[in-house]
Every structure is written in C-alpha cells, then in structure tokens.
Amino acid sequence: MVNVDKAIIARIKKEGEMFEILVDCDKALAYRKGEGELKEVLATNEIFKNVKMSERASETDMQKLFHTTNADEIADIILKKGEIQLTAEYRNNLREEKKKQIVAFIHRNAIDPKTGLPHPPQRIGDCIEQCKCKVDEFKDVDVQVQEILGKLRELLPIRFETRELEITLPSQYTGKGYGILKGYGKMLKEDWLPNGDLKFVLEIPAGIQEDLENTMNGLTKGDVEFKILNKK
C-alpha cells in the first residue's frame, strides 16, 4: 500500500455524486496507461465521497452508479476514466519533461533554411519561452509541435525536411557501420560494390545529418562519403 501522507486524490463524478480514492501519483498515471497492479496504486481500499472530510461513499450510491460495491472495481474505473489530482510541482516537472521532448523533436526534424543546419536545442527552448507557447504535459509531442510552430516561426526561421543521403562505406567498416546507419533512418537502398565497399541510400530527418556525419567520420577516421540525393 502507498503511504497515505504522500497520496493524492483521484476522483470521478457520476450523476452529481463524487467518488474519490487516495493513490500514488506516479503509479496512478502508469496504471492509466495499463502498467502496474491496482494494489500498488492505492493508499487505502476505501471509496470516499469526500476524502478531506473522511466521508465514505455509501454502498447504495455505489451500487446505483457503478452497479457494484466492490472497491477494487470502482477504483479501477476512477483511475481509468476519472481525474487524477496532480500536485503543482508534479505538473511542472511533467511540463518541463514534455518541453524537452518537443525541443528534441524540432532539433531532430527541422533546420534553419538559411544555413541548412539544425537550430541548437537551447535556442529552440529559449524561443518557445519567448513566444509564450503553452506546453501541455499530457498532449502528444507531434500534435503540440504543429500548434507551436506558428508562433515559433515569428522568432525562428525553421523548416521541416527529410533528406535522402547516399553513403559509401569502406569494406572494413561495414560490420559496425551498417547497424549504426540503420539506427539513424530508413534504409532505401543498399549495393555491394566490386571492391567490397557498401553504398547506401538512407532517408533521415534533416536535423540529424550533422550528428550522423560526425558519428561515421569518427568510426571510419573520415574515410566515408556522403552525398545528398534529395530533399523534401
């Protein structure tokens, strides 16, 4: 069981009646995603009408509105369909983590049209703050990026782009290099050359080309060839 003193409230309202339970914040959110067991989430086995007043829900109301008086079954419904009351500190932490994910997504997938290079993560983050873009701790990253872009472009020249790169890898590096390259993007084509070298066509987000080149140059001591075949 969870420590009651550290628990938060999860609740659901049905036909004007409130039903509340005490839960661990992290484990409650994980349970909503289908992770963990109910007994690890709950601080008590009680269903309350008002936790702060220590007022328990009546069995009559539970039977009428949930068609059961089983506390575990009702707690499961509250956790999956109700509202989890997060602390301000926890919300701020979630929001900051989501912002980092948004910045990483933009850095990976977008470039500065003037230079063809990705914007540094710090610059992207600073511009998100400057344009007062709202970050929702629960909304998907790709959805929020589309919502943020309009304001972000007022401060930052930015274009989303994918590139098809032709990469020629010397034969002595194909063992390690092949796995690394596949981790960066979508392999469109691969050809073994008569001398044992391997030529790839790899589709990647434009923002990671510089990182890819640095990685492969480090592996091959600069003995690798890159050519941009297409931008879209």
- For residue 90, what pLDDT is reported? 84
Q: What is the pLDDT of residue 9?
A: 95
At 88 the pLDDT is: 83
Determine the pLDDT at residue 4.
Answer: 77
Residue at 215: amino acid letter: T
Could you tell me which residues come within 8 angstroms of residue 92 by beta carbon, excluding any fewer than 6 positions away? none
| The two structure tokens encoding residue 197 | 């070298």
177 close to 216: Cβ distance less than 8 angstroms: yes
What sign does the CA torsion over 53, 56, 57, 58 have? negative
- Are the C-beta atoms of residues 92 and 103 closer than 8 Å to each other? no
pTM to 2 decimals?
Answer: 0.70
The domains of the chain, with CATH numbers, are 4-84 (3.30.1250.10), 88-159 (1.10.10.900), 162-231 (3.30.70.240)
3 state SS of 225? strand
pLDDT of residue 64: 96
Say what the pLDDT of residue 1 is: 62
Q: Along the chain (232 residues), what's the average pLDDT of each consecutive run of 10 residues? A: 82 96 92 93 95 94 96 96 88 92 95 93 95 90 92 93 95 90 92 92 94 94 94 92
Quickly list H helices, the chain.
25-32, 38-41, 59-66, 71-81, 88-109, 121-130, 141-152, 174-182, 209-220
Name, in order, each residue with C-beta under 8 angstroms of 2's C-beta and a sequence gap of 6 or more.
22, 23, 24, 27, 40, 41, 42, 43
pLDDT at position 154:
92
